[in-house]
């Protein structure tokens, strides 16, 4: 059954290849500098490499936006996003798979009554504005730089043509790799918890994880989309917004690739944090928006003449309508999946308001006075829990999200033997592992109780003040906590 559910993820991968991934080579193909077959081959190979090697992308941010926790729900959300992108592709509009999956996840939140993490949503929405502007800035600067260099260099036209073709292919390969690393989580990320693949060790040299195998399948679906249906979008980007010369096409591809790299590079994030600079959020970035921004930047650098504002307005309308359409379609499909096909689109999760939870909420400065009447009550439905909270307190989405997080009932049994065998010494420090072992035999019913117990035992488990310099440290602690939950949840009592 899992393979049937994966079909919607493969459909979404095909849609990404037909739309988003095509934009990496759209200007090169549109300017006739690179043949479509060559562009498709290079894009396919490097998208797959980026997905498999660096495919974690921005999955964490999307996971915080909405934790789709049932396989039928994952299937439906991916199907809604894929159908939306396919529809926009049919209209020859370069829209974003990132926009579609965000809209579909919000549709799942609305259907299930789950709160939306506004911080994560804000980060994602900000990139939808920043990425095309940044691409335009890069494009203008690179255009000025190329113009200055070419005006002084004595390069024969035939040599310039050869250099430009080679540059388009190299930069396109770089952009395709960055796209695969950044966007594969949009395609297959919702299926990671139910992946049918097991880790493989090839000759005890190459470790091929189940998630990497899942991303490989998604990458292959993207490649099929590139080959079968991307040409129409390439011509829209490459010709109809602004007529590009070969050198301009190279500048556009390089500008777009730089934007994709900035929002996908963990190395750059570490460097910025190490120098006490604000890091660039690692979130899914729309290659469509970046390439359009870069094309507009070229138009501005050329004096603003020649930009087709009618086509530009049509494309912008697609950017606005895509997440809205995906959210509505996701809501409708979830209704049919649950009520007509009788499939579980959301895994039942129990929530409990206890005195411990109330005390913790008070520490987080969340109003609890009117929640005292819920003390000792359990809720086995997200929607009912949400309504009970709203009847007692005027809460915003951020406060609701925090209450859901702290009140969720789980079960963790700490076994010191597992701490010694399941916790990788290359990931966890000896002090961290020792702190876990000291909790042997204890049971925790909330994640935060386990977190607090470890923080009391060892400073190696404590989050530091939320400053730029401490961001990377805190991010690693949160990742290690997720590993602990997986290890000790499997041995619930």
Angstrom distance (rounded) from CA 317 to CA 186? 22
Give pLDDT, residue 21: 66
Give pLDDT, residue 493: 42
Average pLDDT on 102-128 reads: 86
Q: DSSP string of 44-91?
A: HHHHHHHHHHHTTTTHHHHHHH----SHHHHHHHHHHHHHHHHHHHHT
pLDDT for residue 240 is more than 60: no
Average pLDDT on 80-109 reads: 84
Q: Which of 185-194, 297-306, 310-319 has the highest mean pLDDT?
A: 297-306
How do residues 22-66 score in pLDDT, each as one tens digit?
678 877 787 778 888 898 999 999 999 988 887 765 556 676 777
Angstrom distance (rounded) from CA 462 to CA 458? 7
Give pLDDT, residue 94: 64
Average pLDDT on 137-157 reads: 89
| Confidence grade of residue 204 (pLDDT, cut at 50, 70, 90) | low
pLDDT for residue 1 is more than 70: no
Give pLDDT, residue 414: 94
Give pLDDT, residue 333: 96
Residue 180 makes CB contacts below 8 A (sequence gap 6+) with 46, 47, 48, 49, 50, 51, 52, 54, 55, 219, 222
Give pLDDT, residue 441: 93
Give yes or no for a contact between 481 and 451, defined as CB atoms under 8 angstroms apart. yes
In 348-442, the DSSP E strands lie at: 351-353, 377-379, 412-413
- Across the chain, what does the average pLDDT equal? 84
Give pLDDT, residue 193: 63
Give pLDDT, residue 492: 43
Give pLDDT, residue 316: 75
Average pLDDT on 414-428 reads: 87
Average pLDDT on 468-486 reads: 87
First to last CA, the chain: 29
């Amino acid at each position: 059954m899992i393979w049937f559910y994966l079909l919607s993820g493969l459909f979404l991968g095909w849609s990404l290849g037909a739309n988003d991934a095509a934009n990496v080579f759209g200007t090169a193909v549109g300017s006739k500098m690179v043949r479509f077959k060559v562009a498709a081959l290079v894009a396919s190979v490097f998208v797959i490499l980026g997905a498999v090697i660096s495919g974690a992308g921005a999955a964490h941010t999307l996971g915080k936006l909405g934790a789709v926790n049932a396989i039928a729900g994952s299937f439906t959300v991916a199907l809604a996003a894929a159908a939306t992108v396919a529809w926009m592709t049919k209209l020859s509009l370069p829209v974003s798979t990132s926009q579609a999956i965000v809209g579909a996840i919000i549709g799942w939140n609305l259907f299930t009554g789950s709160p939306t993490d506004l911080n994560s949503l804000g980060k994602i929405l900000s990139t939808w504005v920043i990425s095309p502007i940044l691409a335009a800035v890069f494009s203008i600067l690179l255009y000025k730089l190329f113009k200055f260099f070419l005006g002084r260099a004595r390069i024969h036209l035939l040599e310039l043509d050869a250099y430009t073709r080679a540059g388009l292919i190299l930069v396109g390969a770089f952009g395709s790799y960055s796209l695969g690393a950044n966007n594969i989580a949009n395609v297959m990320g919702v299926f990671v918890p139910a992946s049918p693949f097991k880790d493989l060790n090839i000759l005890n040299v190459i470790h091929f994880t189940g998630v990497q195998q899942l991303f490989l399948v998604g990458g292959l679906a993207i490649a099929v989309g590139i080959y079968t249906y991307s040409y129409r979008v390439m011509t829209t980007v490459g010709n109809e917004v602004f007529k590009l010369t070969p050198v301009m096409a190279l500048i556009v591809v390089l500008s777009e690739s730089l934007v994709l790299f900035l929002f996908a590079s963990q190395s750059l994030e570490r460097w910025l944090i190490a120098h006490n600079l604000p890091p660039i959020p690692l979130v899914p970035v729309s290659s469509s928006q970046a390439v359009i921004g870069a094309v507009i930047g070229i138009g501005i650098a050329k004096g603003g003449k020649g930009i087709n504002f009618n086509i530009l307005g049509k494309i912008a309308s697609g950017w606005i309508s895509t997440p809205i359409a995906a959210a509505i379609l996701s809501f409708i499909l979830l209704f049919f999946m649950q009520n007509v096909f009788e499939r579980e689109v959301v895994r039942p999760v129990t929530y409990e308001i206890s005195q411990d939870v109330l005390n913790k909420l008070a520490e987080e400065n969340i109003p609890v006075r009117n929640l005292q009447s819920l003390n000792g009550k359990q809720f086995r439905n997200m929607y009912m829990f949400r309504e009970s909270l709203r009847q007692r307190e005027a809460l915003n989405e951020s406060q609701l999200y925090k209450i859901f997080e702290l009140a969720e009932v789980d079960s963790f049994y700490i076994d010191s033997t597992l701490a010694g065998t399941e916790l990788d010494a290359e990931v966890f420090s000896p002090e961290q592992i020792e702190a876990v072992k000291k909790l042997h035999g204890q049971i925790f019913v909330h994640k935060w109780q386990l977190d607090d117990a470890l923080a009391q035992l060892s400073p190696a488990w404590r989050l530091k003040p939320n400053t730029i310099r401490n961001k990377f440290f805190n991010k690693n602690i949160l990742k290690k906590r997720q590993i602990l939950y997986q290890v000790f949840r499997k041995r619930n009592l």
